[in-house]
Amino acid sequence: MAAESTPEPGITEPGVTASRRGGKGRRRKTRSTGSKALRATAWTAAGVVVLGGAGAGFVYFKLNGNLHSVDINQALGSDRPSKIDNGSQNILVLGSDTRSGKNKKLGGGTDDGSARSDTAMIVHVYEGHKKASVVSIPRDTLVERPQCTDTKGTTHSAASGVMFNEAYSTGGAACAVKTVESITGIRMDHYLEVDFEGFQKLIDDLGGVQVTTTKDIDDPQSHLKLKAGPHTLSGEQALGLVRTRHGVGDGSDLGRIQLQQAFIKALIDQVKHVGVFTSPKKLYDLADTATKAVTTDSDLGSVNDLIDFADGLKGISSSHMKMVTMPVEYDPANPNRVLLAQAKAQLVWDALKSDRPIPASATEGTATGEAKGVVS
Q: Tell me the pLDDT tens digit for each residue of 286-298.
A: 888 888 888 899 9
How far is 305 from 291, CA to CA, in rounded Å? 12
Q: What are phi and psi of 4, to 5 degrees?
A: -70, 135
Q: What is the DSSP letter of 360?
A: G
Domain annotation covers residue 27: no
Dihedral angle, C-alpha 301, 304, 306, 309, nearest 10 °: -120
Residue 210 domain boundaries: 33-351
Angle at 16 between CA 250 and CA 271, to 5 degrees: 100
Domain annotation covers residue 22: no
Per the structure, the count of domains in the chain is 1
Q: How many CB atoms lie within 10 A of CB 29?
A: 10
How far is 320 from 88, CA to CA, in rounded Å? 15
Domain annotation covers residue 2: no
Q: What pLDDT was estimated at residue 206?
A: 84
Nearest alpha carbon to residue 13 among 327, 270, 370, 371: 270
Q: What pLDDT was estimated at residue 41?
A: 36
How far is 339 from 161, CA to CA, in rounded Å? 9
Number of H helices, E strands in the chain: 10, 17
Domain annotation covers residue 48: yes
H-helix segments, the chain: 43-54, 60-66, 72-76, 166-184, 196-206, 235-243, 253-272, 280-293, 303-311, 342-353
| pTM above threshold 0.95 | no
Domain annotation covers residue 321: yes
How far is 46 from 87, CA to CA, in rounded Å? 22
Domain annotation covers residue 15: no
Nearest alpha carbon to residue 205 among 234, 226, 232: 234
Domain annotation covers residue 193: yes
How far is 40 from 259, CA to CA, in rounded Å? 9
Name the pairing type of β-strands 159-163 and 141-145: antiparallel
Domain annotation covers residue 335: yes
Nearest alpha carbon to residue 197 among 288, 106, 69: 106
CATH of the domain at 127: 3.40.630.190
Q: What is the pLDDT along the chain (376 residues), one digit of tens a residue?
A: 444 444 433 343 333 343 444 444 444 444 443 333 333 334 444 444 443 444 444 467 778 888 889 999 999 999 999 998 888 999 999 876 554 445 444 444 443 345 656 778 999 999 988 899 999 999 899 999 999 999 999 999 999 999 999 999 999 999 999 999 999 999 999 999 887 788 888 889 888 888 888 888 888 877 888 888 999 999 999 888 887 776 666 666 787 888 888 788 777 676 666 555 556 777 778 888 888 888 899 998 888 888 788 777 777 767 778 889 999 999 999 988 999 999 999 999 999 999 999 999 999 988 776 545 566 6
